[in-house]
Amino acid sequence: MYRAGLALLSAAAVSAALVTAASAAVPSDVPHDAPAGAVAEAAHGCAVVYFDLGETLVHTAEDSSTGYLPGAAAYLRRLRERRIEVGLLTNVPPSWGETDAERAAVLEKEVDGAWVGPAPFAWKDFGDRILTPRTEAERKPAPALWERARSQAGGCCLVYEGESAEETDAAAALGYVAYQVGQPGRPAYLPARLIALLTH
C-alpha cells in the first residue's frame, strides 16, 4: 500500500509532509508520511540537495572548533554513491567577497582553520554550488538563495535540508522538498534512497 501510494502523491504533498514539525514521527529509514513519489517534479531524472551548513552538516563547539555533525559525513558519502548532486546555501557575510566563489573561498578557509576530526569537510562534493548572499537583504529566509539555486538546477528536483524550521518552511513555499534535520523520532537527514526515488 505504501509503495502504491508513492506514485500518486505530488511534490507539493511531499514538501508539506517533510516540513512538518518534530511531532511528525518517522519510525524507520523512510518517513511513513513523507512519500517520495514526486514523479512530476522529477521529470528530468535528477535531484540536487542543498544544505544549510552550520548545525546542519557541521557543528561549532564552545572552543570554536568545527567538525561534522554525527552522521553527516556518511550521509554525504551515500549521496555521492548515488550520484546525487549537493550544494550549500549559507548566510556568510556579503563583505567576504564580490562573487559566490570568493565568498565560498573565505568560508572554506574559516571552516578548515577550525576543523577537527579524522576527515576534512567534503568541499569538492559541492563544486560551484555554494551560494551565499550578495547583500544583507539576500540572507535566508529571504527567497533569493533558493531562487538562484533553482535557476542553476536545470529542471532537477530540488531538496533543501536545514536545522531551522523557518528556513525549511521558506524552502517548501518555493517548491523545494524541504526537510528539517536533527528532529527527534526522525532520521537525522532525509534518507538518500528516498531522494533517489524522486529522480525516477
Interatomic CA distance for residues 146 and 184, integer angstroms: 26
pLDDT computed for residue 73 by the predictor: 97
Number of domains in the chain: 1
pLDDT score for 8: 27
The fraction of the chain above a pLDDT of 70, given in percent, is 78
User: Whole-model pTM?
Assistant: 0.80
Taking the CA atoms of 55, 108, 85 and 170 in sequence, report the sign of the dihedral they define. positive
For helices 11-18 and 165-173, what crossing angle results, to 10°? 170
The mean pLDDT value for 136-146 works out to 98
In which band, very low, low, confident or very high, does the pLDDT at 34 lie, cut at 50, 70 and 90? very low
Range of the domain at 82: 2-198
Between 13-27, 49-63, 118-132, 142-156, the lowest mean confidence (pLDDT) is in 13-27
* Cβ pair 36, 2 in contact under 8 A: no
* Contact assessment for residue 180 and residue 164, using Cβ atoms and an 8 Å cutoff: yes
pLDDT in tens, 12-29: 334 344 433 222 223 233
Per-residue pLDDT tens for 67-116? 999 999 999 999 999 999 999 999 999 999 999 999 999 999 999 999 99
State residue 13's pLDDT score. Answer: 37
Q: Is the pLDDT of residue 44 over 90?
A: no
Q: Which residues pair with 58 in a beta bridge?
A: 54, 68
CATH number, domain at 131?
Answer: 3.40.50.1000
Return the pLDDT at 200. 73
Confidence of residue 151 (pLDDT cuts 50, 70, 90): very high
State how far the Cα of 86 lies from the Cα of 143, in Å rounded to an integer. Answer: 19
Task: Report pLDDT digits (tens) over 154-170.
Answer: 999 999 999 999 999 99
